[in-house]
């Protein structure tokens, strides 16, 4: 598995995206409009992050690795909380 030099702000944005998505996926979520707006804003931040214009960011595997890394870090934080 390749290791990509993801910037911290990109990892945090992806983690926030996953957390927001999980909130929307709960039965009867509250404040769905606000959650959807947040999901859209995070999606834009992730999609247009400058990392994707670097040589490492141009590889298709980088996006999948970012999602995997963010999910893994999110699960670790949930276990320690």
- Total-model pTM: 0.84
The reply to whether 21 falls in a domain is: no
The reply to whether 60 falls in a domain is: yes
pLDDT digits (tens, 9 = 90+) for 15-32: 999 999 999 999 999 999
d(CA 71, CA 34): 22
**Count of the separate structural domains present in the chain:** 1
d(CA 44, CA 29): 23
Q: Residues of the chain whose pLDDT is less than 70? A: 1-2, 74-81
Range of the domain at 80: 32-81
The reply to whether 59 falls in a domain is: yes
Q: Between the CA atoms of 60, 1, 64 and 11, what dihedral angle is there, to the nearest 10 degrees?
A: -110
């Amino acid at each position: 598995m390749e290791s990509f030099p993801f910037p911290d702000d990109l990892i945090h944005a992806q983690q926030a995206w996953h957390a927001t998505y999980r909130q929307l996926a709960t039965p009867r979520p509250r404040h769905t409009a606000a959650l959807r707006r947040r999901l859209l804003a995070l999606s834009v931040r992730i999609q247009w992050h400058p990392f994707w214009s670097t040589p490492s960011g141009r590889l298709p595997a980088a996006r999948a690795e970012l999602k995997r890394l963010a999910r893994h870090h999110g699960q670790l934080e949930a276990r320690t909380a």
